[in-house]
Amino acid sequence: MTGTLSSARTVSFRDALREALHEEMEADESVILLGEDVGRYGGAYAVSRGLLERFGERRVIDTPMSEALIVGAALGAAMVGARPVAEIMYMDFVTLAMDNLVNQAAKVHYMFGGQFNAPLVVRVQQGTGRGAGSQHSQSLEGWFAHVPGLKVVAPSTPADAKGLLKAAIRDNDPVLFIEHKGLYPRKGAAAEVDHVVPLGVADVKRTGTDVTIVTWSNHVHIALEAAERLSADGVSVEVVDMRCLAPLDMTTVLDSAGSTRRVLVLHEACRTGGLGAEIAATVGEQLFGELAAPVRRLTAPDVVLPAHTELERTLIPDVEDVVLAVRDLLSS
């Protein structure tokens, strides 16, 4: 169940994740943290800073530079009673651990007839904004949402980050936990210790009557800013934050789409094979004949990302792009 938010305190996305790790490690000795530089360095984005000093080297483990080793060790530990949280420095690098994550962790419960669970979390950082190039900036959530047995989470706010990470650590299935690099400094309402957000439940971040924007992660904030701009012209936009990409909460999406009758699916990943296509197809199938216009997608194009912030910025949908897309959708 969801706990409470604090009206008197704000925290950054980064600090909310650290609070979740600290609280879950305090509450359950089986929770361990492992990955490159998670201990002495405090994590590539400082999420695990201070945890080594509090919990020691047996529970905060600096690993060799091998993603396959990190996920493989996490899976082995999970199968014998631990609840590991493994950090992969960039989502792009999880490709080096695909077999352990996709062929092993996601399938172990089924392959062993329920004799084993794989309660592990793999934290990854993804997304653009730093001009870090094609091997450090990709949004690959669509790959992993396609894999049965694997849960995929992509929060947008500090409170959701904390509540979803706590739920992911407690879950008995493997969870890929996606943190957009641009969100780490973003501040929001702090969540108390009892705040847990159930996996697989979307959240309506803004209610509206004219158009539904379905999105997740960093683009929730872009959608909200666009909605605010459009409101000045009398356009009422509802923003649905998926939060969890596997399983998808299509009930919330369909409820919103059925009400507004116009839907824009927005994401940073490439267009072809992106998760937006699955959402658009489901809305089209379930609400055929009820929509006022075809479902639209606004995404990055199918190109290799450049190592240049200005070039990168031209490829990723921004507030102006969203405003134009909504206006076009309303005119169709």
Rounded CA separation 240/227 (Å): 12
Q: Which string of DSSP letters, residue by residue, matches 258-296?
A: HHHS-EEEEEEEESTT-HHHHHHHHHHHHTTTT-SS--E
Query: In Å, what is the CA distance from 77 to each residue of 13, 20, 56, 74, 121?
Result: 28, 20, 17, 5, 12
Helices within 80-157 (DSSP H only): 98, 108-111, 141-145
So which residues are the catalytic ones? 136
Non-local (6+) Cβ contacts of 192 within 8 A are 3, 4, 5, 6
Q: How far is CA 163 from the centre of its chain?
A: 12
If we measure between CA atoms, which residue out of 71, 126, 60 comes closest to residue 100?
71
